[in-house]
Amino acid sequence: MSTRRVIVVGTGYVGLTTGACLASVGHRVTCADIDPAKIARLRAGQVDILETGLAELVSGGTASGNLDFVLGARPAVVTADGPVALFLCVPTPMGAGGEADLRAVESVVGEIADVLPAGSVLVTKSTVPVGTAARVADMLGRDDIAVVSNPEFLREGSAVSDFLNPDRVVVGSDDRAAAELVGGLYDALNAPVVVTDAASAEMVKYAANCYLATKLSYVNAIAGLCERLGADVEAVIEGMGHDPRIGRSFLRPGPGWGGSCLPKDTRALAQVAEAAGYAFPLLDAAIDTNLAQHAHVVAKVRRLCGGALAGARIGLLGVAFKAGTNDLRDSPALAVAELLAAEGAELTAYDPAVNGELSRLSLVDDPYLAVKGADVVVVLTEWPEFATLDWSLVAELMAGQSIVDTRNLLPLNDLRAEGLACHPIGRAPVVPAARSL
Which of the stretches 99-107, 113-121, 246-254, 286-294 binds ligand UGA when contact is defined by CB under 6 A?
A: 246-254
Q: Specify the residue, 68 or 327, whose C-beta has the smaller distance to ligand UGA.
A: 327
Chosen residue from 80, 140, 261, 319 binding ligand UGA by CB under 6 A:
261
Binding mask 86-125 for ligand UGA (x = CB under 6 A): ----------------------------------------
| Residue 378 and residue 315 in contact, taking contact as beta carbons nearer than 8 Å | yes
Measure Cα distances from 398 to 170, 377, 393, 435 in Å: 51, 8, 9, 16
Binding mask 20-49 for ligand UGA (x = CB under 6 A): ------------------------------
Q: Specify the residue, 321 or 386, whose C-beta has the smaller distance to ligand UGA.
A: 321
Residue 251 is assigned to a ligand binding site? yes
Give least dist CB 128 to ligand UGA, A: 12
Which residues on neighbouring strands pair with residue 6, listed in sequence order? Answer: 29, 85
Residue 205 is assigned to a ligand binding site? yes
Q: Is 322 in the site for ligand UGA (CB under 6 A)?
A: yes
Q: Is 321 in the site for ligand UGA (CB under 6 A)?
A: yes
Chosen residue from 10, 61, 129, 254 binding ligand UGA by CB under 6 A:
254
Q: Is 262 in the site for ligand UGA (CB under 6 A)?
A: yes
Give least dist CB 76 to ligand UGA, A: 23
Dist CA 334 CA 338 (whole Å): 6
Q: Is 383 in the site for ligand UGA (CB under 6 A)?
A: no
Q: Identify the active-site residue in 89, 210, 261, 422.
A: 261
Q: Is 257 in the site for ligand UGA (CB under 6 A)?
A: yes
CA angle 64, 69, 73 (to 5 degrees): 140
Residue 252 is assigned to a ligand binding site? yes
Which of the stretches 65-73, 251-259, 296-304, 396-404 binds ligand UGA when contact is defined by CB under 6 A?
A: 251-259
Give least dist CB 127 to ligand UGA, A: 6
Which of the stretches 74-82, 150-158, 167-175, 415-423 binds ligand UGA when contact is defined by CB under 6 A?
A: 150-158
Q: Specify the residue, 240 or 395, whose C-beta has the smaller distance to ligand UGA.
A: 240
The number of beta carbons lying within 10 Å of the beta carbon of residue 3 is: 10
Residue 410 is assigned to a ligand binding site? no
Q: Is 163 in the site for ligand UGA (CB under 6 A)?
A: no
Which of the stretches 87-95, 256-264, 273-281, 334-342 binds ligand UGA when contact is defined by CB under 6 A?
A: 256-264
Q: Is the C-alpha dihedral spanning 330, 333, 337, 339 positive or negative?
A: positive
The number of beta carbons lying within 10 Å of the beta carbon of residue 33 is: 24
Chosen residue from 128, 216, 223, 339 binding ligand UGA by CB under 6 A:
216
Q: Is 391 in the site for ligand UGA (CB under 6 A)?
A: no
Q: Is 155 in the site for ligand UGA (CB under 6 A)?
A: yes
Give least dist CB 261 to ligand UGA, A: 3
Q: Is 69 in the site for ligand UGA (CB under 6 A)?
A: no
Q: Is 250 in the site for ligand UGA (CB under 6 A)?
A: yes
Name the nearest CA neighbour of 195 among 160, 139, 158, 146. 146
Q: Is 153 in the site for ligand UGA (CB under 6 A)?
A: yes
Residue 261 a catalytic site member = yes
Task: State the residues that interact with ligand UGA by CB under 6 A.
Answer: 127, 152-156, 209, 212, 216, 250-252, 254, 257-262, 321-322, 332
Residues involved in catalysis:
261
Binding region for NAD(+): 33, 38, 92, 127, 156, 264, 329
Binding region for substrate: 153-156, 205, 250-254, 258, 322
